[in-house]
Structure 1
Amino acid sequence: MVLSITGAHAQPPKENKNTNAKVTDIWVVFKTHFDLGYTDLPENVFKRYREEMMDNALKVIENNATLPPEKHFAWTVSGWPLQAQILGPQQTPERKARIEKAIRSGALAVHGLPFTTHTESLDYEDLVRGMGFSSTVARKYRLPLPISAKMTDVPSHSWIMPSLLKQAGIRFLQLGCNDASQYPRFPELFWWEGADGSKVLCNYTVSYGSGIKPTPNWPCKNYLAMQMTGDNHGPPTSQELDKLLAYAAKELPGVKVHFGTLDDFAKAVLAEGPDLPTVKGDCPDTWIHGLQSNPQETKIARNIRPLESALDGLHTQMKGWGIGVAPIAAELAKAYEQSLLYGEHTWGMNSAFGPRNSYGDDWKKWMEEAAAEPLPENGNYAQLKNGDAHNTATGSKRKWLRSYDDKRQYILTAKDIVSKELNEHLNLLASSLHIKGKRLVVYNPLPWKRSGIIENPWEKGSYFFVKDVAASGYSSYTIDELKAPDITHDEQPVFSTPYFKIAFDLTKGGIVSLIERSTGRELVDQSSPYVIGQFLHERFSKNEVDRFFNAYPRIKEGWGLNDFGKPGMPNAQEAPYVSFTPNAWKINVAHSAVADIATLTAVETNGYAKGYTLTFTFPRNAAYVDVEWGVDSKTAEKQPEGGWLCFPFKVENPTFTIGRLGGPVNPATDIIPGTNRHLMAVATGVSITQADQSGAALTSMDAPLISLGEPGLWRFSMDYVPTKASVFVNLYNNMWNTNFALWQDGSWSESVRIWPVGKQTQTVANLVQYGWETRLPLLTGKAEGEPGRLPVSKTGISVSRPGVLITAFGDNPDGDGTILRLWEQAGSTGNCIVSLGKESKVKAVVPIDLRGNKTGNKILVKNGVFNFNLGKYAPASFLLVY
């Protein structure tokens, strides 16, 4: 029995008639599933949480206050809506007082996570900051921090989750899939182990929650009845609670029923100490294709998230260097919040309100009608009625379209904040250098020394190479040192650089031969139908969609069909599958002392866009190739489609290493069945190696989704393992049919970096270094005028072990002071030495967890240096003592 399950993704599970004599206590936890905007515009959803839902919840809480303690109703809420909305500035004082009373009594409980996320789309610090909303509530009302967490609907999550939660002091995670999706083949109750060895107790249910009657094979005396209402539905009523209690009294004699929280269950079951299996593995998200339904904003997200940490560290170091900088804690917190909101799992309103079933002329007519609708007065979309696929009310089409723009705005706001602050900081740093006149500062946001190519800010399109910029430090250049190199042009498709011999195929548009000059090794699989950097556009027919639909959803009709199929699309005879690559390209090659840059321009686009370009950059001081795809005015298309960049590498019997959030994954051994084996997000990139560990690697600056072996849209399998040494980077897709954009258009670009991997190379360390150097480039600031007092170059904070990121170095988000957070990426365990610089005034550091709680004894800092033991793939956080 599950209470009032409603909403697009929720249906009651079938009632189990068996009994489980082992169970003595049932912990009933009540929650509704939070969708950021699926059921309405976000602003309307938030208003409903603040007002109607809270009034209903408070009514039940207050009505139950006279019952025995174990029957007191408790409603569990996610961290962000409680802290930012329910308790936010728009709440009335009268209602807020009642809410605060319910929080203090435990009747309104917060779990440890902000809401449900597309977890693998985020970066480390986004996830850490996301736990702060719950922590803020607990600390404000002097309650213990929650030790449990919950996510619903999204079927699978990166194995960063057990590492993240355990390292934050959270001990229990409940995951509830929606009824139609495939799901990881987890036990009901188990220990989930992350790449760093952290374990968290996990309960996985194949519906949003679970019934009150224990399942037959439940392994413990304490059972969790996760009573979920559907998407933004709100709490149960008093009558529903009475019905549940009457049912329990009749059907479960002798079993004690407790109304409570996830923490209550976690404490009980952990105290019981059950013998449970441990599962170590990653769970790529089977909904992750949705990221590239917004390719332009997802590119911004991938670019801006590493810069949040870079801004944090630069600000703190500039203060230490004596530069007067204004506080940025509030701005940075807002940027992290907005980034996290973009990673929340709903990206627009239910497409039932849009043209979900319309194709061809019907869809074009819908678009014309939407464009012709008048804008609401004063921009107030909240009052517009919603329609459905067959009955749209005035303004509803604009409202539906607006919901997708609302989602996009989150990451645009994060970009505005971070870009503005970072530019101001970098320019201020440049003005503080002891150089007169025009000068440029080059800042390295990574804690190891590096070199690279940067653009002259005074002469767009002019690049130069900078060497050995210090860890977390800077180098500087005068205007006289920024002379543009001489450039020559030709149209030859075959040429050499210091590192490669290159031959282009101007029919397919890409590199048909890439020979590493130091070894003579060919990097391109010339037996492949593709070439390196080739653009591939796929338009799918009903055959491919039906193949996926028959393999993936567990519900084959109703909302299962609407969400995971493409009802209404023409049959395969009318609209067959098409694989398109422009078949003629023009080439122009620019040669300079900095780089050789080949630009390919498509001669014909077949109506899919106004134009395509492919730009291949071969630095003369580094052995990598940057491939940038650009589209001019992509044509909007409702028919299922997707775009790729293709990278067929010549590697024998390949082993794949995928740089995933949380730790590297071998798809042959580390992926839990039932999750996504055909398309997944990567943090650093992919390395493909053969027996001697040589091979090739790839990372994308802009596009997080990759497929291995073959393009992976509209594919699902329980056991697929790639055997071909090919990587396909997804540029865009409209695979979703529920609450993600149904078409893509406009002009934008996406870039990928590839590099050869040498024999006996440490695969993970190599991928980490080059992956993060790609994603977090050298940063520049400019100034002119009188000199400042800082030296022309400087070393910042550094770490003795390569492959350790600094994800936070700044104001403590969990209290007073300054924190330093490192996160091991290369898979090494052992002593780590951190140098804060000889000028540092830090006297000691105190180990803390990811929510700011002290975890160890103070470590002394001598001459700006301290050391500690850092585990593989693990974070380490410290509060600095001055």
Structure 2
Amino acid sequence: MLQRAKLLFLMALALPASAQKNAAEHPQVTDIWLVFKTHFDLGFTDLPENVFQRYRGEMMDGAMKIIDDNAKLPPEKRFTWTVPGWPLSEQILGPLQTPGRKQKIEKAIREGAIAVHAYPFTTHTESLDYEDLVRGLGFSSKVARAYGLPLPISAKLTDVPSHSWVLPTLLSHAGVKFLQMGCNPASQYPHVPPLFWWEGSDGSRILCQYTALYGSEIKPGADWPCRNYLGMIMTNDNEGPPSKEHLDAILQKIATDLPGVRVHLGTLDDFARAVLKENPKLPVIRGDMPDTWIHGILANPRETSVARRARPMAPALEGLNTQMKIWQLPVGSISGPLAKAYEQSLLYAEHTWGMNAEYGPRYSYGEDWKKWMREAEAEPVPVNGDYSQLKNSSARHPETGSKRKWLHSYDEKRQYMMNAAQIVDGELAHHLELLAKSVGMEGKRMVVYNPLPWKRSGMVEIPWKKGAYFLARDVPASGFVSFSEKEIGQTAGATSSVSTLETPHFSVVFDLKKGGISSLVDKKSGKELIDSSQGYVAGQFLHERFSSNEVGAWFNQYSRIKDGWGLNDLGKPGMANAAQVPYLAVTPQNWHIDIAGSDAADIATLTPTDTRGLAKGYKIVFTFPKHEGYVDVEWSVDSKTPEKHPEGGWLCFPLAVKEPVFTVGRLGGIIDPSKDIIAGTNRYLMAVSSGVAVTRADHSGVGLSPIDSPLISLGEPGLWKYSEKDMPRKAAVFVNIYNNMWNTNFPLWQDGSWSEKVRIWGIDGKTETNQALVGNAWEARLPLLTGAADGPKGSLPARREGLAVSRKGTLVTAFGDNPDGAGTVLRLWEQAGEAGDITVSFPEKSKFTKATPVNLRGEVAGKSVSVTHGKLRFALGAYQPASFLLE
């Protein structure tokens, strides 16, 4: 993703000091496996459609030429080009490929000259949800199955420095044996051995090579631990395969420096099989690697919020569709639309979010930036909306090319997530409306559907009365309850504008200067949950404007390249110095409050009298349900003022917990950040899957789940900070709601209107911390869903049970058409770290009698078990997935 010209190839030829030794000092290395790949960027170098055209055309022609040139050599000397799953499946072999070229490519795939690895492309992994990751493996599987090849057992990630430890669990349970991860040359990277076993939170292990470059040096370092060595030869971003001259230079270098060592041109799978057969003694690294680039996803706060809500709704939609078939309602298969939604969601998580900032106002600030924007907006929209043929405009040479094209590249990236949400939301609305029409109740009614596999109660908005809420009690697991208009009713309570509030669960004091809650006493425990002495109040909106001091300090700690493209891509060249524009932390002052009560909830709405020029308006809504002890905090902005100078926004939650212990629900497992983060990765900012618990020695404390933005900092706001050792000391959680920290290929400013919601609750210490976190957090992320109808009654009962699991905290991530073949797939994923037997109860009228264990790519992984009296019992490990094909 970063600009490197020929740097990567030259660094592969130049040997590090540790490797400047002769072959005699490496007696253990007998075989070098050379694997060739180009780094795939979805955009960055150009608009995606131009990148795809290049992959389909000239790249493949280049690959086929070198393949043909080497065709007469012995098999181990023949060139093989490795390609990630999605571009090979959907573009190179896709419907826009020419028939003649496709025929040549297919021949090369069958003969092994073009190889696919298991992963779709490089992702901001921790921003995704579980089933997105699983479906992403399907692109490579599709290619392998289409051409009669075994599924690939290796995967490659490039550029993004670090990834969630969901990867060893995901890949191991998919039958993948080896992962090669390569960092870009400028960023810091995890402190891990060159070859190791990476152990996931569930105990799964995968063989890993980590390199501080895209690929690896040609010659092994002195610390290489085994006889087989991987030379991962990478060409530049979207550059294509190496030339014959490059290949010859590499082979000559090896022959000179390592005489007698056998050289194999092959695949990642070839290397993996060789090392696994060798079975060397390797270190085991158990821990998480939070992404040091993860701040980038909040450069698009609206679309990231859409992603956060839509992604868990895709499995919910699939499960509802399957159950409605079981209940004999007239719904068809949604496997096609759902596959498209998962693909579009994955494309949004791919690590490039627009074109290189060299084509935009990278160096412009203040009036220069505003002038650039005016010129871009004044450019005519191209005929038929076709931006692909426009010439790029460089920030250094703005007089040439199109500025609007650069802006358009960000819109194209945003559209992927909007496409996914449109599919999921549209299908859900259709299904819920049909379900409401089908229940045995006449007249105006509402059906409430529970997308989680355990029973719960919750507030829902009345479909025909916006802003009015109703408490739906005891909605069965994955089932529904119906309510007539008369049953729902709606009794409005008193309204007031005082700064205190008594609810069934809390005593509340609002701070109308900072705009938040200064005291929140949990009536059940009698404990204060908020510590305003930290200088913040709960729900407070904090805006930071950063100076060159913070930017420079971070850059000097983080970047390994201090000038050139390293400075341009990671720093903020051209910004004013700190004397001209100092650091500033701002919160709008003097908030007005309105409190309204109803049967379902008390709702306090705060609005400021002065936005400090940061936006047209702000609003923070605190919702206190009557049925349960939690608070929903929803911040919204009207027309945020765009600003290119480094800035960021937060929602603040200072918590009254002494000597805090942090429990963070990450993708792949719950972590203790004091123990489970691998050095060199992100300690200041990370994405959460479920939420965060902050507890005392007696396990009581506060839980928090960010519903729209997944990014949190612990102890203090974490933008423009990097440390290999720092640990949070204060009991505080900060939810990031926007930032423009990136300077490469993420949007450089934020504007417009959007909202961010966070749920907080007290933890009494009686329930195990993980359970207290996971159950409440997933009820926040997957709310009860509603459909409405009016007219004659249908044939379904007013209430029905759906798919249920016996252990709260285990998610159902798939229940529908098998994406890897025929049949119905059921997939569970344990979230709370509890191992033991679990029972799945199928919906009434289901006819499943047998369940065959399969891995995450649909391969049979065990003996079939019986489904008896509608129940499936099996052992499920902590943080493990389990998949079954149902018959």
User: TM-score when scaled to structure 1?
Assistant: 0.99
Query: In the TM superposition, what are the counterparts of 1:348-363 in structure 2 within 5 Å?
Result: 348-363=354-369
Q: How big is each residue's C-alpha offset from its partner over 1:500-542, in whole Å with a ceiling of 9 and x where there is no partner?
A: 0000111111111111112221111132100111110000011
Alignment-derived partner of residue 695 in structure 1: 701
Hey, what's the Cα distance between the residues in 2 that align with 1:369 and 1:72?
Answer: 51
The answer (yes or no) to whether the contact 1:444–1:469 under 8 Å persists in 2 is yes
Alignment-derived partner of residue 103 in structure 2: 97
Q: Which letter maps to 1:631?
A: V
Query: In the TM superposition, what are the counterparts of 1:525-540 in structure 2 within 5 Å?
Result: 525-540=531-546
Alignment-derived partner of residue 280 in structure 1: 286
Query: In the TM superposition, what are the counterparts of 1:40-119 in structure 2 within 5 Å?
Result: 40-119=46-125
The answer (yes or no) to whether the contact 1:6–1:229 under 8 Å persists in 2 is no
Q: Report deviation, 1:801.
A: 1.1
Q: Report deviation, 1:394.
A: 5.3
Query: In the TM superposition, what are the counterparts of 1:536-555 in structure 2 within 5 Å?
Result: 536-555=542-561
Alignment-derived partner of residue 328 in structure 2: 322
Q: Report deviation, 1:592.
A: 1.7
Given the alignment, which residue of 18, 21, 35 partners 1:18?
21
Query: In the TM superposition, what are the counterparts of 1:65-464 in structure 2 within 5 Å?
Result: 65-392=71-398, 395-464=401-470
* Residue segments in structure 1 that go unaligned for 5+ positions in a row: none
Q: Report deviation, 1:462.
A: 0.9
Q: Report deviation, 1:708.
A: 0.3
The answer (yes or no) to whether the contact 2:525–2:764 under 8 Å persists in 1 is no
Q: Which letter maps to 1:655?
A: V
Q: Report deviation, 1:82.
A: 0.1
What is the SS of the residue equivalent to 1:136?
A: helix
Q: Which letter maps to 1:873?
A: Y
Q: Report deviation, 1:757.
A: 0.3
**Is 1:868 equivalent to 2:874 in the alignment?**
yes
Q: How big is each residue's C-alpha offset from its partner over 1:656-696, in whole Å with a ceiling of 9 and x where there is no partner?
A: 00000000111100000000000000000100000000000
Hey, what's the Cα distance between the residues in 1 that align with 2:510 and 2:70?
Answer: 74
Hey, what's the Cα distance between the residues in 2 that align with 1:294 and 1:8?
Answer: 31
Hey, what's the Cα distance between the residues in 1 that align with 2:840 and 2:389?
Answer: 56
Hey, what's the Cα distance between the residues in 2 that align with 1:565 and 1:576?
Answer: 17
Alignment-derived partner of residue 848 in structure 1: 854
Between stretches 369-378 and 238-247, larger displacement belongs to: 238-247
Q: How big is each residue's C-alpha offset from its partner over 1:138-194, in whole Å with a ceiling of 9 and x where there is no partner?
A: 000010000000000000000000000000000000000000000010100000000
Q: How big is each residue's C-alpha offset from its partner over 1:6-32, in whole Å with a ceiling of 9 and x where there is no partner?
A: 379886254132242210000000000
What is the SS of the residue equivalent to 2:312?
A: helix
The answer (yes or no) to whether the contact 2:490–2:599 under 8 Å persists in 1 is no
Is the alpha carbon distance of 1:430 and 1:568 closer, same or farther for their aligned partners in structure 2, counting shifts above 3 Å?
Answer: same
**Is 1:627 equivalent to 2:633 in the alignment?**
yes
Q: Report deviation, 1:409.
A: 0.3
The answer (yes or no) to whether the contact 2:622–2:634 under 8 Å persists in 1 is yes
What is the SS of the residue equivalent to 1:586?
A: strand
Is the alpha carbon distance of 1:310 and 1:7 closer, same or farther for their aligned partners in structure 2, counting shifts above 3 Å?
Answer: farther
What is the SS of the residue equivalent to 2:521?
A: strand
Query: In the TM superposition, what are the counterparts of 1:675-824 in structure 2 within 5 Å?
Result: 675-824=681-830
What is the SS of the residue equivalent to 2:310?
A: helix
Hey, what's the Cα distance between the residues in 2 that align with 1:270 and 1:113?
Answer: 20
Q: How big is each residue's C-alpha offset from its partner over 1:841-867, in whole Å with a ceiling of 9 and x where there is no partner?
A: 011000000000001111011111120
The answer (yes or no) to whether the contact 1:386–1:392 under 8 Å persists in 2 is no
The answer (yes or no) to whether the contact 2:594–2:605 under 8 Å persists in 1 is yes
What is the SS of the residue equivalent to 1:718?
A: coil
Hey, what's the Cα distance between the residues in 2 that align with 1:415 and 1:148?
Answer: 31
The answer (yes or no) to whether the contact 1:385–1:393 under 8 Å persists in 2 is no
Given the alignment, which residue of 461, 467, 470 partners 2:473?
467
The answer (yes or no) to whether the contact 1:11–1:179 under 8 Å persists in 2 is no
Report sequence identity in percent: 62
Alignment-derived partner of residue 678 in structure 2: 672
Q: Report deviation, 1:238.
A: 1.6
What is the SS of the residue equivalent to 1:381?
A: coil
What is the SS of the residue equivalent to 2:743?
A: coil
Hey, what's the Cα distance between the residues in 1 that align with 2:547 and 2:4?
Answer: 35
What is the SS of the residue equivalent to 1:378?
A: helix
Q: How big is each residue's C-alpha offset from its partner over 1:726-758, in whole Å with a ceiling of 9 and x where there is no partner?
A: 000001000000000000001111000000000
What is the SS of the residue equivalent to 1:616?
A: strand
Hey, what's the Cα distance between the residues in 1 that align with 2:239 and 2:341?
Answer: 29
Query: In the TM superposition, what are the counterparts of 1:830-841 in structure 2 within 5 Å?
Result: 830-841=836-847
Given the alignment, which residue of 508, 511, 536 partners 1:505?
511
What is the SS of the residue equivalent to 1:590?
A: strand
Hey, what's the Cα distance between the residues in 2 that align with 1:418 and 1:11?
Answer: 46
The answer (yes or no) to whether the contact 1:10–1:207 under 8 Å persists in 2 is no
Hey, what's the Cα distance between the residues in 2 that align with 1:605 and 1:492?
Answer: 22
Hey, what's the Cα distance between the residues in 2 that align with 1:605 and 1:277?
Answer: 54
Is the alpha carbon distance of 1:376 and 1:11 closer, same or farther for their aligned partners in structure 2, counting shifts above 3 Å?
Answer: farther
Q: Report deviation, 1:783.
A: 1.1
Hey, what's the Cα distance between the residues in 2 that align with 1:631 and 1:7?
Answer: 44
What is the SS of the residue equivalent to 1:382?
A: coil
Q: How big is each residue's C-alpha offset from its partner over 1:245-287, in whole Å with a ceiling of 9 and x where there is no partner?
A: 2222222111000000000000000000000000000000000
Is the alpha carbon distance of 1:5 and 1:726 closer, same or farther for their aligned partners in structure 2, counting shifts above 3 Å?
Answer: closer
What is the SS of the residue equivalent to 2:771?
A: helix
Hey, what's the Cα distance between the residues in 2 that align with 1:814 and 1:607?
Answer: 53
Hey, what's the Cα distance between the residues in 1 that align with 2:532 and 2:422?
Answer: 44
Hey, what's the Cα distance between the residues in 1 that align with 2:535 and 2:7?
Answer: 42
What is the SS of the residue equivalent to 1:777?
A: coil
The answer (yes or no) to whether the contact 1:10–1:208 under 8 Å persists in 2 is no
What is the SS of the residue equivalent to 1:102?
A: helix
User: What's the C-alpha RMSD, in Å, of the aligned pairs?
Assistant: 1.1
Hey, what's the Cα distance between the residues in 1 that align with 2:128 and 2:844?
Answer: 35
Hey, what's the Cα distance between the residues in 1 that align with 2:355 and 2:300?
Answer: 14
* Residue segments in structure 2 that go unaligned for 5+ positions in a row: none
Hey, what's the Cα distance between the residues in 2 that align with 1:394 and 1:781?
Answer: 53
The answer (yes or no) to whether the contact 1:307–1:776 under 8 Å persists in 2 is yes
What is the SS of the residue equivalent to 1:66?
A: coil
Q: Which letter maps to 1:638?
A: K
User: TM-score when scaled to structure 2?
Assistant: 0.98
Alignment-derived partner of residue 661 in structure 1: 667
Task: Flag as ranges the 4+ runs of structure 1 deviating above 2 A.
Answer: 4-11, 392-395
